[in-house]
Amino acid sequence: MSGPSRAFIEQSPQVSASTPAQTSVTDTAGVILYANGRRKGLVVQNTGTTIIKLAFGSTSPTQGAYHVALSACTVANDGSGGIYVDDAWAGEVRAISSTAGGTIVTTEFRLGAPDWNEAGDWGIS
């Protein structure tokens, strides 16, 4: 057999979810989720009345260059804002708001190991 071989290893079925919390996003880009090797998935929902732009990795989004744009809510916290769901990305997520005063809610789903103490370690590597 030539080249490297890969084997898939089944992960523990234990999964935790971060506590959802509303986070402010300004018109200056910043990290909203740090890289996490134990992340199984993530959800970002726009809860404000500004457009939120996301970029993945170490490059910050700008108003004209980004990976994903989340539409604004009609009224703050009405549930109509754009949602981004990902079940594979474990790197940084950065965001910028179209104007000052943006808000989002993020949730991370994380893998654990069978001996993982969820109360003492939320899976952040």
Supply the CATH number for residue 52's domain: 2.60.120.10
Joined together, the tokens standing for residue 65 give: 């260059």
User: Which residues of the chain are modeled with pLDDT < 70?
Assistant: 1-14, 112-125
Residue at 47 is within a domain: yes
User: For residues 13 and 108, what is the distance between their CA atoms, to the nearest angstrom?
Assistant: 15
pLDDT at 104: 98
Cα–Cα distances (Å) from 12 to 7, 69, 72, in that order, read 16, 33, 37
Residue at 70 is within a domain: yes
User: For residues 31 and 33, what is the distance between their CA atoms, to the nearest angstrom?
Assistant: 6
Residue at 58 is within a domain: yes
Where does residue 9 rank: exposed (0-12), middle (13-18), buried (19+ CB within 10 A)? exposed
Residue at 94 is within a domain: yes
* CA 35 to centroid of chain Cα atoms: 9
Cα dihedral sign for 113, 114, 115, 117?
A: positive
pLDDT at 10: 52
pLDDT at 3: 45
> Which domain covers residue 66, as residue numbers?
21-111
pLDDT at 12: 52
